[in-house]
Structure 1
Amino acid sequence: MEQDPLSQLRDIHIPPPEGFWPPAPGWWFVLLLVIGLAIAITVWLRRRRQKNAWYRIARRRLDRLAEGAAGTSRWFNELNSLLKQSALARYPDRQPQSLSGSGWVDFLLETSPADPAASRPVVSAMVASCYQPSPTCPTDDAIRFARVWIGGQKC
């Protein structure tokens, strides 16, 4: 009994589809790239936050000083101290802690942003008020200048 050899053939079978795992090498590269970028961005944000920590502290202290604006020489000394600490954090190479009088006024004006609050008479009166028994500088002007100066120093 002779059989037809073609009848013994089976239909073509398509192999089952591939699963999603393991991914192709290109996807591994993309995954490593995304992880690397996430780490780099995290490190950059953390360093920036640490670098600007003085800014957040100065803003909080300035807000407290503004709330209790007394207009005394002691209050102006505290404001001047805050500005010096901020200047030291922002410009450590220029040694602002050693400046006083007109040198300190010049430094503040030189490093302040262009703003009407940063005028020589206001800054001079603010610095001089630290040494006067009854200060002549209005506290509002001093606070306005300090906000402008500290706000313009953020990195």
Structure 2
Amino acid sequence: MQPAPEIALRDIHQLPAPSLWPPAPGWWGVLAVVLVVSLGVHLWLRRRRLRRIAIEKIFDDAMSEAFDAPAQVAAMSALLRRASRRHRADADVLDGDEWLKALDEGAKVPLFQSGIGRLMLDGGYRKDIDPGDVDVLRKMARTRFLEWMRV
């Protein structure tokens, strides 16, 4: 046997730390996922905002086309009947107190079965409607319309 040769070994040196730029491939993937998700959220929120604006415009245009108070009440009733079909299939054919009850369904405080809300029954046929009452009714109807349209 031969004796082990004397080999001069050097100390072990650590590799230098990786640089911060460019990042590792996994970080590029994380960045891509974050960008895609944030773009998706932005587009979703933008679509919701544009939908809300369009639905508000439907209500506001119908009110501006109505030339007097009875026509405004009739337009509110027609819009609410269309919107109510999203919740009840028979809501557009209801009349009288059943219609007012349907308007108040799911509301925390019943607004249409008493007070100014009762104008929805015959306000479209009366000429002696107070414009202040119509303004209050318009706010109530607009709020309900937007709730039913899920805006």
Query: Into which bin does the TM-score normalised by the smaller protein fall?
Result: 0.5 to 0.7
- 2:100 aligned with 1:105, yes or no? yes
1:145 aligns with one of 128, 137, 142: 137
Aligned match of 1:20: 21
Matched residue, 1:76: 73
Q: TM-score, normalised by structure 1?
A: 0.60
Number of the residue aligned with 2:42: 42
> CA offset at residue 43 of structure 1?
4.3
Task: Tell me by how many angstroms 1:98 deviates.
Answer: 2.0
Question: Partner residue of 1:12?
Answer: none
SS of the equivalent of 1:76 reads helix
Deviations 1:34-86 (A, max 9, x none): 122123303432453465356322442366268x5x234x343223223323x
Q: CA 1:19–1:78 in 2, change beyond 3 Å: closer, same or farther?
A: closer
Choose which of 120, 129, 133 in structure 2 pairs with 1:126.
120
Pairs aligned (count): 130
Does the residue aligned with 2:69 lie in a helix, a strand or coil? coil
Give the aligned residue type for 1:25: P
Decide whether aligned partners of structure 1 residues 129 and 59 sit closer, same or farther in structure 2, where only a CA change above 3 A counts.
Answer: closer
- What displacement does 1:141 show? 1.8
Is the Cα–Cα contact under 8 Å of residues 101 and 112 in structure 2 kept in the other structure? no
Structure 1 runs (4+) deviating above 4 angstroms are none
Compare the two structures and name the one with the higher helix fraction.
1
Where does structure 1 lack aligned partners over 5 or more consecutive residues?
1-14
With over 3 angstroms needed to count, the CA separation of the structure-2 counterparts of 1:151 and 1:125, relative to structure 1, is closer
Structure 2 equivalent of residue 52 of structure 1:
52
Does the 8 Å CA contact 1:123/1:145 hold for their aligned counterparts? yes
Q: 1:24: Cα distance to partner?
A: 0.9
Could you tell me the TM-score, scaled by structure 2's length?
Answer: 0.61
2:53 & 2:28 partners in 1: Cα distance? 38
Q: C-alpha distance in 2, partners of 1:50/1:82?
A: 19
Alpha-carbon spacing, 1:98–1:53, altered in 2? closer, same or farther (3 Å): farther
